[in-house]
Amino acid sequence: MAGVTRERVSPRRNGRPPRKPRSPLWRLRIWQIILLAGMGAISVRLYYLQIYKGPELTKRAQVQRQQHNLLVHRGAITDRHGLPLAIDTTRYDIYVHPDLLKVSSNEAAETFARITHQDSPEKFARLQRLLKNPTVVTVARGLERESVDELQALNWAGIDVVPRPFRHYPEGNLAAHILGYMNFDMKGQGGVEQAQETMLKDTGSIPKPELDGHGRPIMQQKAEPIWDITPPLGRHVELTIDNYLQHLAEQELSAMASHCHALKGTAIIEDPTNGEILAWANYPSYDPNKYFKYPFETTKNWAMVDVYQPGSTFKILTVASGLSTGAIKPNSTFYDAGTLAVGNRSVHNHDGAHGTLDLLHLFIHSSNVAAAQVALRMTPKQFHDKLYEFSVGRKTGVDLPGESAGLLLDAKYWKPIDQATTGFGQGAMATTPLQLASAVSAVANDGTWIQPHIIRRVYDPQTGVTEKWTNPEKRQVIGKDTAELISKLLADNIQMGTQIAGQVPGYRVAGKTGTAQKVAVGGRGYIAGATIASFIGFLPADNPQLVCLVVIDSPKSEGGWGNTVAGPVFNAIALDAARYLGIPQKPEGPEMKKMKPIVAPSVKYASEPVSKDIGRAPH
């Protein structure tokens, strides 16, 4: 009908009512959720990178921008008077692009060989082979400035000159084991070079310039300090070593060790009042400028790495321990029958019986039997702990790498024979020469042990500030009265004895010889006929200012005695060192007139009386 509007109804499908059409907004809602989730994730990530990890990433970026071949020189190492022992100079490496050269390979080889001093047939042939390669080749390393100037004057294309730091040791072999050396990668190896690697390269608060990927400087928003030294320098290290005393010790040690055909030796001079090592010589030595020509056995500082049984010099610590623990008294006596039964074992003197001995004659006759009795009067724990206080069996903490702790068997494992033989420097212990020198220095320093050290102070060339570097550890190991008594006993031992060692005209020396049997490889038994000769002493005996230890391993002449091998070395070093340091001489008296003159290493000692202080292995 007209005027009537009919509603159009969709037919039902399968009996279900028709679905309403979906709104187009659902797609928008989904995209909004996705965008919000993405923005949230980005915000979280930005917070993590910018806020949480920001400082770390800033430092990493700065390091990355500073990783370039900026020429930085290590600081110098000097002796206590400023004499340079190790310095950095600039050397140059030469690289060539053969395909860019405008001359023939033969002509180029001849020119490079002449300028770089590679004109031997073998080196010239090598250059010819290299220059026929299409790739970049290394023609020379470590050239001096004069050779580089001559190369650059050729004005040839294809030559790259790269400066690099070069470590130089102007005194050659002097103090080589203390200094260490720089390997091909300019990393410190051994000695101060390794121990103070970071400090020697430390340029202080002056940052390296930051460069982009093309090597261009990155402009900074704020003004930064700039290099005022070119090339920039690390911090300088001043050692406690005295150049004159170091040269003296090396000269005297080398003369005797060569004369005796010894395997190795060491001489250590220490100031007992502050722990400063004034000289430290090792034999054989090496030239750190040419370290690659020497085996590791030569370049290592054996006097702080290897251990040995010191023999009779150790009796100083045995008597000091006995007096300090109260196990013996200053007036104690011991009966020396030449042999002493300890359980089912026995210990012996080398030269037979000596009868009743007091402490002075224990040292004069260097009695193993009496020293063993002193050790046995203490409990194992008392003796062990006192030796440990003297730094036997633990590192001294000297500021050099690779120090050995030595050997000191735990007291609970000691057998009576171990305790007895330890009393005369064999048995359940082994020490380094450095440990023994520091232990006897404690006796010389009124019973106070001071950590030995080799670094005196550090100088920063950027700021001009000099600072003391070492604050040595100190500990009282024995009483002052005990230290004074032992010093007097050791001085009387030198004055009343018949030995050469310790006879230094003008000075009253306190000291003790040692002639120890050498332990076989593997630590089982002793090498027949092989000895380690030593002498340690300090002067003046009543006010010690200088301690010197001399150890010579496996001397082949002079009987192998500490008296006749190490003694003359000590005498020569001590006399010259005391005069050099201005140590006052004692007014000449009857005891001084009795002193023998110093004997040079070249003199034969067959007719000289010797102190028979070698200890026979227990059996």
CA-CA distance, 265 to 104, in Å (whole number)? 56
Query: Residue 352 pLDDT > 80, yes or no?
Result: yes
Residue 63 lies in a domain: no
pTM above 0.85, yes or no: no
**In this model, does residue 587 exceed pLDDT 70?**
no
Buried-exposed string 297-306: b where 16+ CB fall within 10 A, e elsewhere: ebbbbbbbbb
End-to-end CA distance of the chain: 142
pLDDT at position 460 is 85
In a domain, 589, yes or no: yes
- Please indicate, yes or no, if residue 438 is contained in any of the structural domains: yes
User: Residue 209 — pLDDT band, cuts 50, 70, 90?
Assistant: low
Predicted local distance difference test score (pLDDT) of residue 59 = 79
Give the span between the Cα atoms of 495 and 511, in whole angstroms.
10
Q: Which residue has the higher pLDDT, 9 or 261?
A: 261
Q: Confidence band (pLDDT; 50, 70, 90) for 68?
A: low
**Is position 88 within any domain?**
no
Tokens of 207: 């940052």
Q: What integer is the mean pLDDT of 378-394?
A: 95
Does residue 87 form part of some domain? no
Residue 83 has what pLDDT?
Answer: 94
Q: Is residue 228 part of a domain?
A: no
Q: Is the peptide bond before 231 cis (omega within 30 degrees of 0)?
A: yes
Q: How does residue 29 score in pLDDT terms, banded at 50, 70 and 90?
A: confident
**Residue 184: pLDDT band with limits 50, 70, 90:** confident
pLDDT of residue 423: 94
* Alpha-carbon gap, residue 502 to 505, rounded angstroms: 9
Say which range, 93-97, 255-259, 466-470, has the weakest mean pLDDT.
466-470
- Decide which of 23 and 542 is more confident: 542
Q: 342 is in which domain, residue-wise?
A: 245-452+472-593
Q: What is the mean pLDDT of the chain?
A: 85
Question: What pLDDT, on a 0 to 100 scale, did the predictor assign at position 13?
Answer: 56
- pLDDT band of 110, cuts 50, 70, 90: confident
Q: Look at 334 and 592; give whichever has higher pLDDT.
A: 334
Among 204, 184, 183, CA closest to 458:
204
pLDDT at 293 over 90: yes
Find the mean pLDDT for residues 197-206: 79
pLDDT given at position 54: 84
Binned at pLDDT 50, 70 and 90, residue 18 comes out as low
Between residues 299 and 3, which one has the greater pLDDT? 299
DSSP string, 306-322: S-B--GGGGHHHHHHHH
DSSP 167-192: EE-TTTTTTHHHH-EE-TTS-EESHH
Q: State how many domains the chain has.
A: 1
Q: What per-residue confidence (pLDDT) applies to 600? A: 38
Does residue 428 lie within any of the structural domains?
A: yes
| CATH code of 345's domain | 3.40.710.10
- Domain contains 324: yes
Residue 602 has pLDDT above 50, yes or no: no
